């Protein structure tokens, strides 16, 4: 799943990915663009690559390998923190909307 895009070009490069989390701003930019979006990723394309398969027999091995990849570990942690921050912001927005709607209706 792709997320945390900084520009529409990054999204175009992952066309074909099963799931992408795209900000409303970039989604609007893509919708307004006349530039065609071509599929870049596919199962067939991946199968043609000479990349050794990785598998983990247990969680301990997985966690060790994840820890050894600083970028993956740091970006995963950063992403979780940012999603948690955004969740708090969204909850506040919803509370504020409910509160202002209640006040407008005399509740």
Residues 38 and 24 in one domain: yes
Residues 22 and 63 in one domain: no
pLDDT for residue 76: 86
Residues 90 and 105 in one domain: yes
Residues 47 and 86 in one domain: no
Residues 19 and 8 in one domain: yes
Residue 7 · residue 25 · CB < 8 Å:
no
Beta carbons within 8 Å of 2's beta carbon, 6+ residues apart:
10, 11, 14, 17, 19, 20, 21
pLDDT for residue 107: 60
Encode burial over 48-78: b for 16+ CB neighbours within 10 A, e otherwise: eeeeeeeeeeeeeeeeeeeeeeeeeeeeeee
Structurally, how many domains does the chain consist of? 2
Residues 63 and 45 in one domain: no
Residues 60 and 35 in one domain: no
Tens-digit pLDDT string for the chain (107 aa):
677 788 999 999 999 999 998 999 999 999 999 999 999 999 999 999 999 888 898 999 999 998 999 988 998 899 899 989 999 999 999 999 998 877 766 66
pLDDT for residue 72: 87
Beta carbons within 8 Å of 72's beta carbon, 6+ residues apart:
66
Residues 46 and 86 in one domain: no
Give the structural domain span for 11: 1-51
């Amino acid at each position: 799943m792709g997320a945390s895009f900084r520009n529409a070009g990054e999204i175009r490069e992952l066309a074909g990915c099963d799931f992408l989390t795209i900000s409303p701003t970039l989604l609007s930019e893509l919708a307004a663009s006349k530039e065609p979006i071509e599929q870049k990723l596919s199962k067939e394309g991946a199968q043609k690559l000479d990349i050794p398969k990785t598998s983990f027999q247990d969680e301990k091995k997985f966690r060790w390998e994840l820890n050894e990849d600083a970028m993956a570990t740091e970006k995963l942690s950063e992403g979780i923190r940012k999603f948690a921050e955004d969740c708090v912001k969204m909850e506040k927005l919803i509370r504020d909307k409910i509160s202002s709607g209640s006040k407008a209706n005399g509740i």
